Amino acid sequence: MTEFKTIEISYPRTGIALATLNRPQRLNAITFEMFDEFIALQQQIDADQDIRTLVVTGSGRGFCAGLDLDCAAQLPDMTTTEMMRGQQQWGVAVAGFRHMSTPVIAAVNGPAAGAGMGLALAADIRIASDTARFNAAFVKVGLSGGDVGTSWALPRLVGLARATEILLTGRFVAADEALRIGLVTDVTSTDSLLDKAFEIGEMIASNSPFGMTLTKQVIQQNVDAPSLDAAIALENRNQVLAARTADMREALAAFREKRKPEFAGN
């Protein structure tokens, strides 16, 4: 088990892991070390067959303020090669949550700025407290509004026109607007945010592990499918694979017998 310095891991309910970004004094701003720990976290959770859903949140009053300003101050002095290597690694670290086989829920409990917004966008599901705010802070420090996958994910969630306006202006999107434009699926109070995330996580965990992995994959691939036929071909493949598993037999039997299934993960 990896010992994390910037992230706190707990297991609040059966099948659910909670990763809490743990730099509250800096609104959980991301350091270069935290990027590395994102990758280690993803690997550790995906390797644990008992974990069915990962919930990511922030400690204190913020979700994630983006790249720590002390780290940002180092960027202009990096060589082009150093900066490119760093960008590639940081992008992989955030996009890795999207590429995990385990479904990921972002419980956004406060400001999610810059790479913090990118982190929220990399999750499969986003819910927010009524104090949450999102913004592309990159443009406020002389950088591009596209970073760690934001320019890919945001238009797919809120549409091209709205995403363009958000990324060009760097303005804050409050929780109520985020819900209205489809950036998040639920808004709740801060006190009930994690309970809501765990409720969703438990619903996911009640389904077969392989079925959830295939569902996550098919959604991500078919959002950019070149045609309906190509999308259906992938769906057909996934259904055939899932039908070969013992868990599918168990799920079907449990459904017919009106009982809770007991999955073996195969």
The span from the CA of 163 to the CA of 190, in Å, is 26
- Per-residue pLDDT tens digits for 229-255: 999 999 999 999 999 999 999 999 999
Tell me which long-range contacts 230-234 makes (C-beta under 8 A, separation of at least 24).
none
pLDDT category at 60 given cuts 50, 70, 90 is very high
pLDDT for 77: 95
- Per-residue pLDDT tens digits for 71-84: 999 999 999 999 99
pLDDT category at 1 given cuts 50, 70, 90 is confident
35-40 mean pLDDT: 97
The span from the CA of 165 to the CA of 171, in Å, is 9
- Per-residue pLDDT tens digits for 144-189: 989 999 999 999 999 999 999 999 999 999 999 999 999 999 999 9
The span from the CA of 247 to the CA of 70, in Å, is 49
Give the three-class secondary structure for 140: helix
- Per-residue pLDDT tens digits for 108-149: 999 999 999 999 999 999 999 999 999 999 888 888 989 999
The span from the CA of 135 to the CA of 112, in Å, is 7
Give the three-class secondary structure for 203: helix
The span from the CA of 19 to the CA of 8, in Å, is 6
Tokens at residue 205, please?
């965990």
Strand (E) or helix (H) holding 72: helix 69-72
